Chains A and B, each alone.
Chain A
Amino acid sequence: MKSVLVIDDNLEIRENTAEILDLAGYKILQQKMEKEVWRLL
């Protein structure tokens, strides 16, 4: 299963986007800030 990392500082937009991608069958990782993403990688 393909993974998608969703980054947005706005909670609603981030969650909604993740939810839509989740329904489309992707594995979802969510992060709020860019620097947290770099830490994750």
Chain B
Amino acid sequence: MLDQVHMTSLFENATEGIILTNGKGVIVVANPAAEIMFGYSKNELVNQPIEVLIPEKFKSVHHEHREGFYKKPSNRTMGHGRDLYGRKMDGSELPVEISLSHYERDSETFVIAFIVDITGRKQIENRMLQQKAELEMVTEKIRQLNAELEIKVEERTLILKEALQKLEQSQEELSGALDKERQLNEIKSRFVSMASHEFRTPLTTVLSSASLISKYTSGDEQEKRDKHIQRIKKSVNNLNDILEDFLSLGKLNEGKLETLLEEINLGELIADTLDEMKAIIKKDQYFELELRKDCNGFTDKKLFRNIIINLVSNAVKFSEEGAKIVIRGNVKDGLASISVIDQGIGISDNDKEHLFSSFFRAANATNIQGTGLGLHIVKRYVDLLGGKVSVESELHRGTTVNFTIPVKK
């Protein structure tokens, strides 16, 4: 059992502030630690209302709290996590932690408050809070930098993509130009090989037939002379046809060809053209015309006739003697559809895709005379008339060329 001296020493030397108040909230006793903590001299706090130690702004609330506490007193330990403040004598505030306990004596409630000055802890806490805020600021800044970086990366990626696209485009343009160049070169070399062959053949015939005529001088050799005169005529016509093809191509390339649309009896035009072409067919070849003679349409007579001549002379040229050549036609819904069908040597799949380019000769046609311009001109004439042309063919079986042109007024 501790004696009174020890009890007093405990009270006097405690580092925590200890204050005892009576039932009216008046300080009965305060230990030195409490007096120093709140800036009072010895015994200055005794008989003061406890509210002198409460900051101004909490005074009225504290009064109510105190009344409540007396009505229903309960002990309260330290560290409730509540921020409490005390008021020093000079009016300044200090952060504190307080535990409360009570006892009854002569039916009066006495309250003991243990008070700890937590200024140091608060300072550390504040510093930590500040550091936390600073850390958050830095984090936020980093986040912002990251976001900016991402935007920049995106922008750069976009620029890079655009540059790549442009590069690809210029590459395409370049390869397009190269392709065109290659095509032109191809056409040029085809022209040279065609021209050397197609011109030389009739010219050689003309030359040799002319020298033979000069040798057949006697009167009974008229038949021989006639044969060579026919050969010369045929060769000259041949050369003329080649020149006609060139002229047509030249006009087409210069864009000088204009269409003159007029109402034409297409059936009659085709029939008349075929009649004229009977002069060039091979032995026993014959035409079969599957077309009403009275089908009319608006188109360019000259171009239409030329298309027919080109297609039919191809059919004649690439068919054997005695072969049938069918010309089929129909006018429906303002469209004229014409087909020229032969049973000739046909066209390989390989050659089909080049058929309409200029000076192109199919592999199986090199021994047959021709400029390689016929189908090219047909295609361009049909284009001029706003139509379409297509080819169906099988090697050794024959070829069908179809073209469709609008003939509505």
Contact = CB atoms under 8 A, between A and B. Distances in A.
Contacts of A23: 212, 215
A20 B211 contact: yes
A19 B214 CA distance: 13
A16 B208 contact: yes
Interface residues on B, range: 10 to 19
B231 A12 contact: yes
Contacts of A17: 208
A5 interface: no
Contacts of B234: 12
A13 B205 contact: yes
A19 B367 CA distance: 22
A13 B211 contact: no
B175 interface: no
A16 B367 contact: no
Contacts of B157: none
Nearest to B235: A12
A9 interface: yes
Nearest to B227: A15
B390 interface: no
Q: Which one of A9, A16, A20, A23 has the highest number of Cβ atoms from chain B below 10 Å of its Cβ?
A: A16
B235 A19 contact: no
Nearest to A24: B215
Contacts of B231: 12, 16
A10 B212 contact: no
A23 B234 CA distance: 23
Given A19-B212, A20-B211, A20-B212, 14 more contacts: A10-B201, A12-B205, A12-B209, A12-B234, A13-B204, A13-B205, A16-B204, A16-B208, A16-B209, A16-B212, A16-B228, A16-B231, A17-B208, A23-B215
Interface of A: 9-10, 12-13, 16-17, 19-20, 23
28 contacts: A9-B367, A10-B201, A10-B205, A10-B369, A12-B205, A12-B209, A12-B231, A12-B234, A12-B235, A13-B201, A13-B204, A13-B205, A13-B208, A16-B204, A16-B205, A16-B208, A16-B209, A16-B212, A16-B228, A16-B231, A17-B208, A19-B208, A19-B212, A20-B208, A20-B211, A20-B212, A23-B212, A23-B215
